[in-house]
Structure 1
Amino acid sequence: MNNKKMLDFQTIAVDFDGTLCYSKWPELGQPNLALIEYLQEWKRNGNKLILWTCRAGEALAKAIEWCREQDLEFDAVNDNLPEIIEFYGHNSRKISCDYYIDDRMLLPESAKA
């Protein structure tokens, strides 16, 4: 894979609880409709989505099904995109993306003692 191919799309990694879904683990809650619509448009424009959540097992399966019910499909779940793994020649534990959307994020300039 060449660098040109890597620039053909951008990737968002998005959290589930408190971000896509107003819920408290392991429950499911109401959808964040504005964010879901934004992500659907992102995909329609040829970009990629990764579901990046601490959920696992049955709780993860329920979250994925909940997302499908919202017409939200992911290119990867808790993993890097196959294109990224191929490009770098390995699968890093850290998700490689252009943007992270998470209810617990903190920008570096906000991290002050």
Structure 2
Amino acid sequence: MEKNYTIYAVDFDNTLCYSTWPELGDPNILLIEYLLKEKAAGNKLILWTCRAGKPLSDAIKWCRDYGLTFDAINDNLPEVVEFYGNNSRKITCDIYIDDRNAYIDPDGKLQGVAI
């Protein structure tokens, strides 16, 4: 699949919004501003959250109140589905942004990513 944009999948609770599910909390302004800039540059955003039903609707509205709109919500982008010929449960993206990220550093140690 050839594309000229980056796909970001971003979590809601304790990532975009400092909250305790199902409550809504304060915004992560630095992350929101970053994503708004990326979206304006033509990149794609996926809201990737465990929320469903009313808590999901509340989160989507909360994001809209901060100017964030998404190209997909808990789903792959249509062009990804078309390219692979199916809609995998795993979201295809270039960058996952989540409060539970971790990676192995060059010394072989598990590290967390602060948001």
4+ residue runs over 6 A deviation: none
Partner residue, 2:62: 66
Partner residue, 2:29: 33
Deviation at 1:59, TM superposition (A): 0.3
Taking structure 2 as the reference length, what is the TM-score of the superposition?
Answer: 0.90
Q: Which consecutive unaligned segments of at least 5 residues does structure 2 have?
A: none
Deviations, residues 1-59 of structure 1 (Å, cap 9, x unaligned): xx3xx321110000000000000100000100000000000001100000000000000
1:89 counterpart = 2:63: no
Instruction: Count the aligned residue pairs.
Output: 108
1:1-113 aligned at under 5 Å gives the runs 3=1, 6-109=2-105, 110-111=109-110
Give the alignment's Cα RMSD to 1 decimal. 1.3
Taking structure 1 as the reference length, what is the TM-score of the superposition?
Answer: 0.91
**Counterpart of 1:25 in structure 2: which amino acid?**
W
Deviation at 1:104, TM superposition (A): 0.6
Structure 1 counterpart SS, 2:32: helix
Q: Which consecutive unaligned segments of at least 5 residues does structure 1 have?
A: none
**Counterpart of 2:12 in structure 1: which amino acid?**
F
Structure 2 counterpart SS, 1:50: strand
Q: Point out the structure with the larger strand share.
A: 2
Deviation at 1:107, TM superposition (A): 1.0
